[in-house]
Amino acid sequence: MRNRITIIALCLVCVCSTHAMAFIMDGDFVRTQIADTDGTLGNGKANPGLRHDPDGTGSFPTEDYLTPGTAREGFTISHRITPSGGAFSHYNLNDYLKQISHISFDNRSGDIFDHDHRWSGQIAGRYRIDQQAYFNDDDEFIMFVMKFTAISALYDVRYARYIDPDPDRHGGGGHNTKNTRGNVAASLPDADIVSAEGAKTGLTVGLYSQSAMPHN
pLDDT value at position 205?
93
* CA angle (100 as vertex; 97, 106 as ends), nearest 5: 110
Q: Are 93 and 73 in contact (CB under 8 A)?
A: yes
pLDDT of residue 133: 97
pLDDT of residue 12: 35
Bond into 54 cis (ω within 30) = no
DSSP string, 181-209: E-BTTTTB-TTTEEEEEETTT--EEEEE-
Q: Which residues pair with 193 in a beta bridge?
A: 208
pTM score > 0.85 for this model? Answer: yes
Residue (of 168, 173, 163) closest to 61 by Cα position: 168
CA distances from 194 to 50, 118, 120, 148, 151 (A): 17, 25, 26, 23, 32
Q: How many CB atoms lie within 10 A of CB 189?
A: 10
Half-sphere exposure of 200 (CA within 13 A, CB side): 12
Alpha-carbon distance of 126 to 43, in angstroms, equals: 27
- Give Cα 122 to chain centroid, integer Å: 18
Alpha-carbon distance of 157 to 148, in angstroms, equals: 9
Query: Residue 20 has what pLDDT?
Result: 54
Closest CA to 81 of 159, 154, 158: 154
Q: What is the mean pLDDT of each run of 10 residues along the chain (216 residues)?
A: 45 39 91 92 85 94 83 94 96 89 95 97 97 97 96 96 88 83 92 92 92 87
Looking at residue 216, what is its pLDDT? 82
User: 101-119 b/e with 16+ CB inside 10 Å = b?
Assistant: ebeebeeeeeeebbbbbbb
Strands lying side by side in the sheet with 155-164: 87-93, 72-80, 155-164
13 neighbors 212 (Cβ within 8 angstroms): no
